Structure 1
Amino acid sequence: MDKLESMRTFVEVVNHSGFAAAGRHLGLSRSVVNKLVAQLEQDLDVQLLQRTTRRVSPTDMGRAYYERCVDILAEVKAAELSVTQMQMQPKGTLRINAPMSFGTMHLAEAIAQFMYQYPDIKVQMTLSDRFVDLIEEGFDVTLRIAAAVEEEALITHKIAPIRRVLCAAPNYLKAHGTPTRLEDLKQHHCLHYGHLATGSKWRLVGPDKTYTIPIKCRGYSNNGEVLRESAIAGVGIALLPTFIIGDALRSNELSIILPNYRPLELTARLCYATNRHLSTKIQLLTTFLQDWFKQPSWERGG
């Protein structure tokens, strides 16, 4: 018996909650599907499925085995893809959209190396801090930084975690004091990032609960690099992602304050439309960026 075929069949039975539906999906008869799963249970000496007249569902052992099968089948698919890619060099144009600061500070180098590795792929990269309509505007993929991407029309892949922290320059802290309590922020000059906060309030997650703190906004911008420079100059306290201030933290131009209070962590995700064919170019870019940002450079010592 082909163990991979049996595992694939078992996974589809769980996915479709039945043998007949799984068979239709796989192009197999119900009897063949039943035989493959039964043989798998016999080989493992464990019951994987609960069978009733109305539906089929995994046992506890079956659920654990299902999750491992999904991982194994994904690895097999990735291995097959890598062989195919070695046989056929990908070609064509890849149209990418990404946020301005992340694009210039980190994505640009990654895309340059991607183009070097795949010389027959042309890249058109547009940087913008607004959410674009992939299909209407002709992009193949977009990189979005958000807590979640809830558009059903998009498939997303996690690229990197995005951590935000409160920070200030040593000269500002020397002149105005270092906040030791969250309430102290109300008395300080703050630098406000337009896209990530509402009004003049910061929403921060502490050890016990979430707090909403009103702030005195000394500076306002929809660009994190602008606020970083104001913070380095000693103008006030900023709430910024470490991918923007990582170098300033390492050089001690900025210091993290109130480290136990942070906003909700964001994630950089690569997104593409569900109704668009998943091309080899997009698969390659996704794998490349996930590997490139596996250990984000901006978190070194930050």
Structure 2
Amino acid sequence: MEMFAEVAARGSFSLAAAALGLPRSTLSRRLAGLERSVGLSLLSRSTRKLALTEAGQLYLKRCRRILAEARLVHEELQDGNAPFEGLLRVNLPAGFATEALAGAFVDFTRHHPGMRLQLNLANPEHAGRVFDAADLTLCVGEPPVSSRVAHHLGFVSGGLYAAEAYLAARGEPAHPSDLREQDCIGFRLRADGLAARWPLACGDERVEVRPASRFSVNEAGMARRLAALGAGVAALGGDQEPYVRAGMLRRILPQWRVAPLPVHALTETRLLPARVRALAGHLARRLD
């Protein structure tokens, strides 16, 4: 059952065999035995593509829940005071929230030195897509409609930043409406390639600006680097103070912030292993 779930998640016998530490031939033989035992074909095999049959989709849905419960029981039988160990796979969007979460991941591994984190970054336009081969999938914004369980963790926010050289050449905006006359570095969150709007808040006042983007990117580090090189104004999440102290960036319109965006953790079931609960709880405390 676990082997079948791994093949379905990876979409490849070779990748699944490597993840399980088995020869590909052994994995293929055991799954063929599983299909004989249920009397149905669960996988549609071709030279180009591996896909689940209708029966395979139903079997996967049920066996995931069984495997999650089995892992939970296994952990409950172990010493509850034992340190967490092993690998956790986390999928998250490579956009606005990435840097806001980086420190939380570092702190988690410091508190749990036996844990390893595999962070899989996806393009922001795919942020709502559920990735099967993960213990936790993070979603910024409203969670997608799916069979997965969404656990609200908190919110991420940010501010507007630019380089001193850019501000000296173009002038500093006094209000978000002035951003229409500035070069901005937009986040490409949409499949049509258009940069996302910037929802800005100052007390009770709310403004949504479509930045005039000379550059549009889908990764926070690139947005920061472009801003530091004087390419324009960037909306950045997380702690940018080190770059401000280094003279690379200056926060503009400091009374305004990028309106908070919700962050959710998507899981297959509400029954989560203790180490997954520990990571989700740690992220929630950092985002509170």
TM-score (norm 2): 0.58
- Partners of 1:215 and 1:189 lie apart in 2 by 8
1:183 aligns with 2:177: yes
> Which residue in the other structure is 1:155 paired with?
150
Distance 1:182 1:288, change over 3 A: closer
Q: Which amino acid aligns with 2:103?
A: H
Among 246, 251, 259, the alignment partner of 2:254 is 259
Equivalences for 1:136-175 in 2 at 5 Å? 137-146=132-141, 148-149=142-143, 151=145, 153-158=148-153, 161-175=155-169
Distance 1:89 1:240, change over 3 A: closer
Contact in 2 for aligned 1:166/1:262 (Cα 8 Å) = yes
193-202 or 224-233, which moves further after superposition? Answer: 193-202
Q: Secondary structure at the match of 1:282?
A: helix
Contact in 2 for aligned 1:115/1:123 (Cα 8 Å) = no
Among 195, 198, 203, the alignment partner of 2:189 is 195
1:194 to partner: Cα distance: 0.9
- Partners of 1:201 and 1:92 lie apart in 2 by 40
- Partners of 1:90 and 1:208 lie apart in 2 by 43
Contact in 2 for aligned 1:200/1:216 (Cα 8 Å) = no
Higher relative contact order (CA 8 A, sep 6+): 2
1:220 to partner: Cα distance: 1.4
Equivalences for 1:237-276 in 2 at 5 Å? 237-243=233-239, 245-273=240-268, 275=269
- Partners of 1:214 and 1:96 lie apart in 2 by 31
Q: Which amino acid aligns with 1:185?
A: L
Equivalences for 1:32-181 in 2 at 5 Å? 85-86=80-81, 88=82, 93-100=87-94, 102=98, 105-106=102-103, 108-113=105-110, 115-116=112-113, 119=114, 123-129=117-123, 130-131=126-127, 134=130, 137-146=132-141, 148-149=142-143, 151=145, 153-158=148-153, 161-181=155-175
- Partners of 1:89 and 1:203 lie apart in 2 by 42
CA RMSD of aligned residues (A): 3.5
- Partners of 2:234 and 2:211 lie apart in 1 by 11
Q: Which amino acid aligns with 1:187?
A: E
> Which residue in the other structure is 1:220 paired with?
216
1:124 to partner: Cα distance: 4.1
1:228 to partner: Cα distance: 0.6
> What percent identity do the matched residue pairs reach?
22
Distance 1:207 1:191, change over 3 A: same
Q: Secondary structure at the match of 2:258?
A: coil
Q: Which amino acid aligns with 2:106?
A: E
- Consecutive unaligned residues in structure 2, runs of 5 or more: 1-75
Aligned residue pairs, count:
204
Distance 1:100 1:111, change over 3 A: farther
1:125 to partner: Cα distance: 3.6
Distance 1:217 1:91, change over 3 A: closer
- Partners of 1:249 and 1:138 lie apart in 2 by 38
1:231 to partner: Cα distance: 0.8
Distance 1:192 1:276, change over 3 A: same
Greater percentage in helix: 1
- Consecutive unaligned residues in structure 1, runs of 5 or more: 1-80, 296-302
1:250 to partner: Cα distance: 3.4
Q: Secondary structure at the match of 1:163?
A: strand
- Partners of 1:287 and 1:208 lie apart in 2 by 30
1:276 to partner: Cα distance: 5.4
Q: Which amino acid aligns with 2:182?
A: H
1:132 to partner: Cα distance: 6.1
